[in-house]
Structure 1
Amino acid sequence: MVNSQDLAEELWAMKLGLKLLQERAKIGSYWWPYISNLPETYSVPIFFPGEDIKNLQYAPLLHQVNKRCRFLLDFEQEVRHILEDLKPDDHPFGGQSVDASSLGWGMSAVSSRAFRLHGKMLPDGTHNYFPMMLPLIDMCNHSFNPNSEIVQQQDAGNLKIPIKVVAAKVIKQNDPLLLNYGCLNNDLFLLDYGFVIHSNPYDCIELRYDGALLDAASMAAGVSSPSFSAPAPWQEDILSQLNFYGETPLLKVSLGGPELVDGRFLAALRVLLASDMDTVHKHDLNTLASLSAEAPLGIANEVAAFRTIIALCVIALGHFPTKIMEDESLLKKGVSGSTELAIQFRMQKKYMIIDVMRDLTRRVKLFSSKEEERAQG
């Protein structure tokens, strides 16, 4: 028997997807009117042609798409092995074959439509969460400025959990009902929902903390004496506290989104560009990791850190094979739906990187003007 409980927790969409496939195969299923109205295809990247997966041009997302595709192919073999010796009456899918395509359909139907609701209260006072498909409610589109919200009754003992959509503001006749699917980046919106948000305030890019790359970026930015590849012992100690050094370092950092610069990354840059150990030790890690903490190690240090990040952004832009103008030209020519989504995705990444550069450049100019005023005063 195919047991969805054997799947890892992060594959919750596949767990519910198996149940959806089972109901789709069941004659006279109570859920058939709902299932029959679900889309036959989904615009998520696992269904993109190979060329359009490449057209995404963004390694972290390519990794996730390939990971999901590999999972579906491997899981297809596992399911096929389990089902091949079952008697017809024991077959959970009514004798129908279940391949990677149908598994992908079930997983995508769930990831693009299910809501994660809170379940029983845990001993620490928090709730566990479980996915649930909500007919009609799942027809609401996404907005970061929603006019509606889902209300779930707080009753852990009630198996029939009352769930309703209520207006969060005045809604005019014929206006669509909009829910906030979550403060997600475009990677997750495209992977799970099959669309891209333009000017997404939560979009970001992932980078890998790499001393040699940072040395190159700082030199390109005109920052003197970069020491990213060979930090002093006291700097290494702080990097270990930031989890950039050690047996299991966390090297993934991000730029963009509400934080603009990953706090750990900003702290590391400030420390590595500092020469005075005593000055650094006057501040805790939270202060060093905060962008709102205005130049805790001095204006020169802050400007050097920002210029290094700007140079990294230039390098990141250079990793995209196409420029924004080329992307715009391709869209004007007319392309397939999946190609258009791939181009829109990579364009939004590029725009986001440029926005980070503009923000940091503005900060550099502001600090530089303050430094000039101080020198003149």
Structure 2
Amino acid sequence: MGRKNHGKAHGRVKLPVQETNEEEGVPKISPQKRSEVKNLVGKLLKVTSTILPTPNASKEWEIHLEIEKLLEKINKLESDMKIPISDRDTRIEEFINWMKENGAEIDGIKIAQFPGYGYGIKAEKNFAQGDLLIAVPRKVMLTTENVGDSLLGPLMRTDPMLQHMPNVALSLLLLIEKFKPDSFWKPYIAVLPAEYTTVLYFKTNELQELKGSPSLEPALKQCRNIARQYAYFSNLFQQSTDPGIASLREVFTYEQYCWAVSTVMTRQNFVPSSDGKSMLTALIPMWDMCNHTNGKLSTDFNAVQDRSECMACRDYQAGEQIFIFYGPRTNSELFVHNGFVYPDNEHDGLRLKLGVSREDPLQPERSKLLCRLGIPAAGDFLLRKGPDPVDGRLLAFLRVFNMGSEHLKHWLSSDRSCDLVYPDCALETEVESKMWKFLLTRINLLQRAYPTTLELFSCGYQKSCCLMLQRSM
């Protein structure tokens, strides 16, 4: 989903594929190699569980390099368990027939390839904005509701990670169904990508390109979390005597887990449970082939017909690619979680980590005023794209952060403190000027952290802040 290029092989060096067939099953590794994997997995679990007392980018990078070295050895040992990858093109017709046989309404559209996007959905007739494009019945969705009825059911009822992380449970269910010869979802799984462009597939030198970027920290965190989950479940599956887990024990590798996690991470949506009492993480076949564009959400769940319905977000002519809006996400979020960036992203922005220091002598007063405004004393704040990059939440935090003792006393005693979130708040020029200077300095520091350079004030954020600074002086 989204703009991507699956022709570029991100990630680790591809290892030779050991040919097999369904009758022979998945190749197994020798007891000696299994023992080596077990030893490495133990080390991996220990490294990925390291807790740093304070955020430290340099130490995080060191930990990542250690994780990568262990995974490289594990991947090499598990390469004997690789299976050949089928050609998606040859399975599309079977998938379309399966969808129609199970009640999906997909007339007037087809799966096609588009330059720079890979696969997407193509209109075969004209559609007006609001027309029904895709209707997918619950029956063909793969959801966390299916986990309870699967071989994972008993484990789901006892394992805390599966209970609290539905995306992980869905990823493991996807792996079970992938290797299940008679899986109902086999036609769907056969047309899923063989690999993704998520950060889990990035090589170390590719991740290095993120140094200086706020995207590096969440990318490293993502890689570490998935490596820890793999190590946790690898140990669990090898030690378990549950016959239901046996099917996973023989196919569970780091590479397969990355594939399953990336599939769920890049394609998941939420649908109501069968009883309507909760929301479920779900994979929605065909709909998840649509790529991203700016716009508004145009997919909803029809409870009466028990199906997901996607409407045209604009007019489409026959031959055009059909897009959907994934939601208001920054390019950093799209990059880390979906594996692509959208150059014209209307919702792009920069997340700033800001907080009131415990060493600040005015920390109690600042925290109290921020609490009254419903704003945390420390957290992430979004600097938005466009001429007005500072929203009310960030604006109020910056104002409180830069107030002196007398200003804090005034606003703590005022019944108009909620006005601090508005641009036209009657605030002292001294505080306003100090606030914009602080923000501009912070942006300059972030920009200098990049190995590459830009001309001064070429960044739209800087231009906007400079204009606001001029107005306040």
> Quick check: TM above 0.5?
yes
Please say if residues 4 and 18 of structure 1, whose CA atoms lie closer than 8 Å, have aligned partners that are also in contact.
no
The residue that corresponds to 1:266 in the other structure is 395
Q: Does 1:152 align with 2:282?
A: no
Counterpart secondary structure, 1:84: helix
Give the Cα–Cα distance (whole angstroms) in 2 for the partners of residues 46 and 133 of structure 1: 20
Give the Cα–Cα distance (whole angstroms) in 2 for the partners of residues 113 and 170 of structure 1: 24
Counterpart secondary structure, 1:53: helix
Q: Does 1:256 align with 2:361?
A: no
Provide the aligned length of Structure 1 versus Structure 2.
311
**Cα–Cα, structure 1 residues 38 and 54, in superposed 2: closer, same or farther, change >3 Å?**
same
Q: Which moved more, 1:29-38 or 1:86-95?
A: 86-95
**Cα–Cα, structure 1 residues 366 and 168, in superposed 2: closer, same or farther, change >3 Å?**
same
**Cα–Cα, structure 1 residues 153 and 264, in superposed 2: closer, same or farther, change >3 Å?**
closer
**Cα–Cα, structure 1 residues 67 and 238, in superposed 2: closer, same or farther, change >3 Å?**
closer
Q: Does 1:362 align with 2:362?
A: no
Counterpart secondary structure, 1:252: strand
Give the Cα–Cα distance (whole angstroms) in 2 for the partners of residues 136 and 301 of structure 1: 54
- Normalising to structure 1: TM-score of the pair? 0.70
Amino acid at match of 1:74: R
Give the Cα–Cα distance (whole angstroms) in 1 for the partners of residues 325 and 273 of structure 2: 20
Counterpart secondary structure, 2:233: helix
Give the Cα–Cα distance (whole angstroms) in 2 for the partners of residues 46 and 116 of structure 1: 23
| CA deviation string 1:258-306 (max 9, x = no partner) | 783364553343243356446534363431133x3x1421334323311
TM superposition shift of 1:22: 0.5
Counterpart secondary structure, 2:341: coil
**Cα–Cα, structure 1 residues 317 and 108, in superposed 2: closer, same or farther, change >3 Å?**
same
Q: What is the identity percentage for the equivalent residue pairs of Structure 1 and Structure 2?
A: 20
Q: 1:30 aligns with which of 184, 187, 204?
A: 184
Please say if residues 352 and 383 of structure 2, whose CA atoms lie closer than 8 Å, have aligned partners that are also in contact.
no
Q: 1:108 aligns with which of 255, 262, 271?
A: 262
The residue that corresponds to 2:347 in the other structure is 202
| CA deviation string 1:60-88 (max 9, x = no partner) | 53333333323333333332333335679
Please say if residues 21 and 106 of structure 1, whose CA atoms lie closer than 8 Å, have aligned partners that are also in contact.
yes
Please say if residues 356 and 366 of structure 2, whose CA atoms lie closer than 8 Å, have aligned partners that are also in contact.
no
The residue that corresponds to 2:126 in the other structure is none
Amino acid at match of 1:288: L
Q: 1:237 aligns with which of 340, 362, 365?
A: 365
Counterpart secondary structure, 1:177: strand
TM superposition shift of 1:118: 3.2
**Cα–Cα, structure 1 residues 192 and 322, in superposed 2: closer, same or farther, change >3 Å?**
same
Amino acid at match of 1:363: M
Query: Mind listing any 5+ residue stretches in structure 1 that lack a counterpart?
Result: 213-227, 326-349, 369-377
Amino acid at match of 1:186: N
The residue that corresponds to 2:25 in the other structure is none
State how 1:18-57 maps to structure 2 within 5 Å.
18-57=172-211
Counterpart secondary structure, 1:183: coil
The residue that corresponds to 1:189 in the other structure is 334
TM superposition shift of 1:35: 0.8
Please say if residues 42 and 194 of structure 1, whose CA atoms lie closer than 8 Å, have aligned partners that are also in contact.
yes
Q: Does 1:284 align with 2:411?
A: no
State how 1:1-377 maps to structure 2 within 5 Å.
3-4=155-156, 6-7=160-161, 11-58=165-212, 60-84=214-238, 90-91=244-245, 93=247, 96-119=250-273, 128-145=278-295, 149-155=298-304, 161-209=306-354, 230-232=360-362, 236-242=364-370, 250-257=377-384, 260-261=389-390, 263-271=392-400, 272-274=402-404, 276-277=406-407, 279-280=410-411, 281-282=413-414, 284-290=416-422, 292=423, 294-324=424-454, 354-368=459-473
Give the Cα–Cα distance (whole angstroms) in 2 for the partners of residues 136 and 84 of structure 1: 35
Please say if residues 255 and 356 of structure 1, whose CA atoms lie closer than 8 Å, have aligned partners that are also in contact.
no
Q: Which moved more, 1:89-98 or 1:26-35?
A: 89-98
Amino acid at match of 2:193: P
**Cα–Cα, structure 1 residues 82 and 181, in superposed 2: closer, same or farther, change >3 Å?**
same
- Normalising to structure 2: TM-score of the pair? 0.57
| CA deviation string 1:6-50 (max 9, x = no partner) | 326774322211111111000122211211111111000111001
Please say if residues 356 and 367 of structure 2, whose CA atoms lie closer than 8 Å, have aligned partners that are also in contact.
no
Give the Cα–Cα distance (whole angstroms) in 2 for the partners of residues 19 and 203 of structure 1: 33
Q: Which moved more, 1:24-33 or 1:71-80?
A: 71-80
**Which of structures 1 and 2 has the larger relative contact order (alpha carbons within 8 angstroms, sep 6+)?**
2
TM superposition shift of 1:210: 5.4
**Cα–Cα, structure 1 residues 295 and 163, in superposed 2: closer, same or farther, change >3 Å?**
closer
TM superposition shift of 1:360: 2.0
**Cα–Cα, structure 1 residues 358 and 9, in superposed 2: closer, same or farther, change >3 Å?**
farther
Query: Mind listing any 5+ residue stretches in structure 2 that lack a counterpart?
Result: 1-150
CA RMSD between the two structures: 3.4
TM superposition shift of 1:108: 0.6
**Cα–Cα, structure 1 residues 117 and 169, in superposed 2: closer, same or farther, change >3 Å?**
same
Amino acid at match of 1:321: P
